[in-house]
C-alpha cells in the first residue's frame, strides 16, 4: 500500500475515534434519554462537548474532499510523492485540529484547518505534474 493510502487508513481510524469522543461527551452532557430519543426537539451540546461535536462535523466535510482527492489521483494512475506529502499534511492538520478546537487559543484552529486543506491541494497537484 502506498504511503498516501496509509494516511487514508489512519484518517479513517482517527475519524472513528473522533466520533466516539464526540458521542461520549454529548452523551455525558445531554443524557441517555435524549440520545436514545427521536430528537424531535434538537438540543446541541455546549462548551467542550459542543466544540468536539462541531470539530467532528468539520472533520466529515474535509474528509470527503481528502478521500475524493486520493481516489481521483489513484484512479488517474498518477500518485507520486506529492500525494504522500499532501496526505501527511492533511492527517497532521486534522489530528491537530481537534485539540486546537477544544483547547487552544484563537487562531490555532484555522491554522490547522488550512494545513489540512493545503494537503488536499497538494494531492490534487499530482494530477498536473
User: Which residue's C-alpha cell is 484552529?
Assistant: 109
Domain segments of the chain: what residues? 3-125
Query: In the prediction, which pLDDT does 35 show?
Result: 78
Segment-wise mean pLDDT, segments of 10 residues, the chain, 129 residues: 95 97 91 82 89 95 97 90 96 96 92 98 93
78 SS3 class: coil
Residue among 26, 52, 19, 18 nearest 34 (CA): 26
* Cell reading at 50: 459542543
* Alpha helices, DSSP H, located in the chain: 3-30, 32-36, 47-75, 81-103, 108-125
96-115 pLDDT, tens per residue?
A: 999 999 998 889 999 999 99
Residues 6+ apart with CB under 8 A from 59: 15, 18, 94, 97, 98
Please state, for a pLDDT cut of 90, what percent of the chain lies above it: 78
Class of domain 3-125: mainly alpha
pTM, 2 dp: 0.91
77 SS3 class: coil
Amino acid at each position: 500500500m502506498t504511503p498516501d493510502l496509509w494516511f487514508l487508513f489512519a484518517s479513517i481510524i482517527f475519524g472513528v475515534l473522533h466520533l466516539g469522543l464526540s458521542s461520549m461527551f454529548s452523551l455525558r452532557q445531554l443524557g441517555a434519554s435524549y440520545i436514545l430519543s427521536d430528537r424531535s426537539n434538537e438540543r446541541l451540546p455546549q462548551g467542550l462537548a459542543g466544540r468536539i461535536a462541531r470539530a467532528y462535523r468539520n472533520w466529515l466535510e474535509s474528509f470527503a474532499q481528502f478521500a475524493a482527492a486520493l481516489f481521483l489521483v489513484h484512479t488517474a494512475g498518477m500518485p507520486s510523492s506529492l500525494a504522500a506529502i499532501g496526505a501527511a499534511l492533511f492527517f497532521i492538520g486534522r489530528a491537530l485540529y481537534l485539540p486546537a478546537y477544544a483547547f487552544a487559543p484563537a487562531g490555532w484552529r484555522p491554522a490547522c484547518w488550512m494545513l489540512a486543506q493545503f494537503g488536499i491541494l497538494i494531492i490534487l497537484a499530482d494530477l498536473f505534474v
